[in-house]
Amino acid sequence: MEVLLYTILTLCVLGVLSAVILYFVAQKFRVEEDPRIDQVEKMLPGANCGGCGFAGCRGMADALVKNDDISALFCPVGGGDCMKSIAAYLGKAAAEKEPQTATVRCGGTCEKRSRTNEYNGARSCAVASSLYVGETGCSFGCLGFGDCVTVCAFDAIHINPATGLPEVDPEKCTACGACVKACPKAIIELRKKWPKDRAVYVSCVSKDKGAVVMKACKAGCIGCGKCEKVCQFGAITVENNLAYIDPQKCKLCRKCVNECPTGAIKLVNMEPLPKEPKAPAEKAAPAAPAAGKAAKAE
Amino acid sequence: MKTFPMGGVHPSENKLSCGKPVEVLPLPETVMIPLAQHIGAPAVAKVAKGDKVLTGQLIAEAGSFMSANIHSPVSGTVAAVDMQPNGQGLRQMMITIKREGDEWAEGIDRSETLVKECSLSAEQIIAKIKDAGIVGMGGATFPTHVKLSVPPGKKADALIINGVECEPYLTSDHRTMLEHGEELLVGVSILMKAIGVDRAFIGIENNKPDAIAHLSKLVKEYHGVEVVPLKVRYPQGGEKQLIAAVTGRQVPPPPALPIDVGAVVCNASTTLAVYYAVQKNKPLIERVVTITGKSVKEPKNLLTRMGTPIQSLIDAAGGLPADAGKVINGGPMMGRAMVNLASPVTKGCSGITVLSGRDAVRRDASQCIKCAKCVAACPMGLEPYYLSKMTQKKNWDELEAQMITSCIECGCCQSTCPSYLPLLDWIRLGKQSVMGIIRQRAAAAAPKK
């Protein structure tokens, strides 16, 4: 009986002593953390995709709470609404960005861009591009080994076996930019997301001269500049034999699409303009000199 | 017989062209000279479209200390200085020259007479080598004058001439040693003088008994020079492996260089180029290229001017065989597959290997079975399966800790893998990425000082 009593007493004393020690240790080494960080983390989508530039949502939440100016921080997955609600909670001004979507700027399908050789090394775009030009004659185009697919955390990009090119599912794409970073050829671009996923863009990144492009691929931009001339909004620039449509300036008027001789300008979810518009005279008038200029330039 | 201490493989030697004396390839009609055909900064073009150039005239100047001069291999008119696809189809700055005859620049001695005496000082020799644009001709294309300029505080005590040629198929160094042994040995004595050593070793793999016998006979006249027969084992000709085999010294991991263990290694063809540069004022404008392959009609060794299209070498060997599957710039172990046969011969191109049929295709990769054959084969003592896996996971810190920068890209791991995993493909990517990170870190740290 006595043994039992002593045992219980010793254990109780030990327990109390440990509790006291632990209390003081906990006080000494306590980490002060803003409780708002937890709250903000809950408000973020929790995808941990790294699209904001931080390793995960926690890092982003930490930065959002600690920085006074959060205009440089943006969560592409949550988008404007998410940022607004967080900013309201923190009482800071949020960055505003229009929604974006990843766009694959290569039209070199199996049919348009013939294979010149066969690659049987490691199935990775990064490896292949460090070794050589790729399986086709185009040194700028998509390699088709799907580094962008591997890296996508949202299952939003897939290689279409018929074309050999990646295709983005605009419903799933959050514009986190992981594929943009993964592509060694810098083909993927984050572009403005229009309603109904409409888009007009130059589906080529080749800076080769026209003749070289034509030889390698039937869908490449040859830098002829016809689109630049026809664009009324100054949205198209041709530099280094390559046209680029500025998504901020483009109004989706689609005139360039009909001008492009190789079909490098892609039209998504939109009907093309009728080829030869039998329009009233005042509409036909500005079109005629534009065509004349293009002919002279050639 | 001497050899390096760990790893290595013994692929089929296939030295098909070892008995074929060097032939001179007729001069090409046009040549294309890449400005970056050496490690380091690209050369800077000194000519423009329309300029007339003579054979041996300087057409591009070294861009920095770690760079090399480039001379015109033919005489004629510069047709263009622009971006042209190289053997891998990637665009590179090249000078295109249309040949008109073969008129040599002044001061170059083209006679065959052997000039033994060299009264120049070490600095003068190195300056001459730099002017001649000599780079390592074994394939690594490291500028030779950089190698010979021993940094202050360090001292070389042995010169090693690399006549190993461990790469299967290739025989250009072998033929060079056989046909120009005298010149080669004068080159050795010049190099010994340049780095201030009194000992030199010529390492030759034991599958070239004729070269060993020939040089052993000639070497008696030269004090301090010794021919070292080596076991046939790939990569015996790797710089670090050769140093270990000949001297028994281990070069520490990068950034340490062979000079840290007192050794300077120079390829046999490079040594011959040094002889021509110093004794004959002849810049590096031609080299011996082996054109070989099991189904090539006539495998041979061709003395080729730089910039000659590779297609014309293949034509000289009987044309591209019908069953050719892969044309490799270099040998099958370390060479690079080509997609553009119009690309030119460069300073580092020791051979063109045409693989056909089953040899040309890699087999489908399956799972790693953890057999560790790659670990046993790695001559640098690395763990290739792990490096490859970590590269796929983009774990750069771990790769750096595992010394991926020590990898010499010899391909032993990949050739020995029973699952046919593309180990080296991944490791190369990992090495490039890690080296990029190290460079960035160094660049970020530099301005703070």
Q: What is the CATH number of the domain that holds A144?
A: 3.30.70.20
> Across the interface, do A132 and B422 touch by the CB < 8 Å criterion?
no
> Across the interface, do B428 and A132 touch by the CB < 8 Å criterion?
no
Q: Of A116, A118, A123, A131, which to mutate for an interface test with B (greatest number of B Cβ within 10 Å)? A: A131
Residues A41-55 as b or e (16 or more Cβ within 10 Å = b): bebbbebbbbbbebe
Q: What is the CATH number of the domain that holds A85?
A: 1.10.15
Q: Tokens standing for A95?
A: 């960055």
Q: Are residues A141 and A271 in the same domain?
A: yes
Q: Is the dihedral of CA B90, B95, B97, B102 positive or negative?
A: negative
Q: Tokens standing for B425?
A: 């493909």
Q: In chain A, which residue's Cα lies nearest the Cα of B338?
A: A132
Q: Are residues A173 and A206 in the same domain?
A: yes
Q: Is the dihedral of CA A131, A137, A143, A145 positive or negative?
A: negative
Average pLDDT estimate for A88-99: 84
Chain A closest-CA separation from residue B291 CA (Å) = 21
DSSP-derived 3-state class of residue B61: strand
User: Is residue A20 in a domain?
Assistant: no
pLDDT beyond 90 at A47: no
pLDDT of residue B160: 96
Q: Are residues A218 and A242 in the same domain?
A: yes
User: Is residue A7 in a domain?
Assistant: no
> Across the interface, do B90 and A116 touch by the CB < 8 Å criterion?
no
Q: In chain A, which residue's Cα lies nearest the Cα of B391?
A: A127
Q: Are residues A123 and A152 in the same domain?
A: yes
pLDDT of residue A72: 84
Q: Is the dihedral of CA A210, A211, A212, A214 positive or negative?
A: positive
pLDDT of residue B448: 59
B437 touches chain A (CB under 8 A): no
* Contact list, B395 vs chain A (CB under 8 Å): none
Amino acid symbol at B67: S
> Across the interface, do B426 and A139 touch by the CB < 8 Å criterion?
no
- How many CB contacts within 8 angstroms connect chain A with chain B? 45
* Contact list, A126 vs chain B (CB under 8 Å): 429
Q: E strand or H helix at B440, and its extent? A: helix B423-445
Q: Are residues A173 and A48 in the same domain?
A: no
B52 touches chain A (CB under 8 A): no
Which residues, listed in sequence order, are joined to residue B353 by a DSSP beta bridge? B292, B328
> Across the interface, do B90 and A139 touch by the CB < 8 Å criterion?
yes
**How far from B124 is each of A244, B131, B144, B325, CA to CA, in Å?**
54, 10, 14, 48
Q: In chain A, which residue's Cα lies nearest the Cα of B430?
A: A127
Q: Tokens standing for B19?
A: 């008995």
Residue with the bigger pLDDT between A287 and B110: it is: B110
Chain B closest-CA separation from residue A121 CA (Å) = 6
Which residues, listed in sequence order, are joined to residue B355 by a DSSP beta bridge? B326
pLDDT of residue A293: 40
B85 touches chain A (CB under 8 A): yes
pLDDT of residue B394: 92
> Across the interface, do A132 and B85 touch by the CB < 8 Å criterion?
no
> Across the interface, do A127 and B339 touch by the CB < 8 Å criterion?
no
Pick from B89, B90, B425: CB nearest A122: B425
* Contact list, A122 vs chain B (CB under 8 Å): 422, 425-426
Q: Indicate the number of domains in chain A.
A: 2
Q: Are residues A136 and A263 in the same domain?
A: yes
CB B272 within 8 A of CB B332: no
Q: Which of A38-47, A276-285, B305-314 has the highest mean pLDDT?
A: B305-314
Pick from B85, B336, B362: CB nearest A120: B362
**Among candidate residues A55, A70, A90, the one where a domain is terminated:** A90
Q: Are residues A76 and A110 in the same domain?
A: no
pLDDT of residue A291: 42
> Across the interface, do A131 and B432 touch by the CB < 8 Å criterion?
no
- Percent of the residues in chain A that have a pLDDT greater than 90, as a whole number: 48
pLDDT beyond 70 at A276: no
B88 touches chain A (CB under 8 A): yes
**How far from B315 is each of B18, B311, B319, CA to CA, in Å?**
19, 6, 4
> Across the interface, do B337 and A124 touch by the CB < 8 Å criterion?
no
pLDDT of residue A285: 42
Which residues in chain B come in under a pLDDT of 70? Answer: 448-449
Q: E strand or H helix at B214, and its extent? A: helix B209-218
> Across the interface, do B91 and A139 touch by the CB < 8 Å criterion?
yes
* Contact list, A124 vs chain B (CB under 8 Å): 392, 425-426, 429
B385 touches chain A (CB under 8 A): no
Provide DSSP, B340-379. -TTSBP-TT--EEEEEEGGGGSPPPP-------HHHHH-T
pLDDT of residue A278: 52
Q: Are residues A190 and A50 in the same domain?
A: no
Q: What number of H helices and E strands is found in chain A?
A: 11, 8
pLDDT beyond 70 at A297: no
Chain B closest-CA separation from residue A120 CA (Å) = 6
Confidence of residue A155 (pLDDT cuts 50, 70, 90): very high
Residues 6+ apart with CB under 8 A from B420: B362, B363, B364, B365, B366
B381 touches chain A (CB under 8 A): no
CB B165 within 8 A of CB B351: no
> Across the interface, do B339 and A132 touch by the CB < 8 Å criterion?
yes
Chain B closest-CA separation from residue A135 CA (Å) = 9
User: Is residue A17 in a domain?
Assistant: no
Residues 6+ apart with CB under 8 A from A148: A104, A125, A157, A166, A178, A179, A182, A183, A188
CB B269 within 8 A of CB B288: yes
Average pLDDT estimate for A77-89: 87
Q: What are the pLDDT digits (tens) for A220-250?
A: 999 999 999 999 999 999 999 999 999 989 9
Q: Of A116, A132, A209, which to mutate for an interface test with B (greatest number of B Cβ within 10 Å)? A: A132
Pick from B90, B361, B429: CB nearest A133: B90
Chain B closest-CA separation from residue A189 CA (Å) = 22
pLDDT of residue A290: 42
A contact set with B (CB within 8 A): 116-117, 120-122, 124, 126-127, 130-134, 137, 139
User: Is residue A3 in a domain?
Assistant: no
Pick from B88, B429, B432: CB nearest A132: B88
Pick from B88, B362, B426: CB nearest A133: B88
Q: Tokens standing for B366?
A: 């399956």
User: Is residue A72 in a domain?
Assistant: yes
pLDDT of residue B445: 87
- Please work out, in degrees rounded to the nearest 5, the angle formed at the alpha carbon of residue B10 by the alpha carbons of B9 and B13: 145
Q: Are residues A135 and A209 in the same domain?
A: yes
Confidence of residue A287 (pLDDT cuts 50, 70, 90): very low
The class of domain B122-280 in CATH terms is: alpha beta
pLDDT beyond 90 at A34: no
Which residues, listed in sequence order, are joined to residue B44 by a DSSP beta bridge? B61
Average pLDDT estimate for A86-97: 85
Q: Are residues A73 and A113 in the same domain?
A: no
Q: Are residues A76 and A111 in the same domain?
A: no
> Across the interface, do A134 and B89 touch by the CB < 8 Å criterion?
yes
B425 touches chain A (CB under 8 A): yes
Which residues, listed in sequence order, are joined to residue A1 by a DSSP beta bridge? none
Domain span including residue A248: 100-293
pLDDT of residue B265: 95
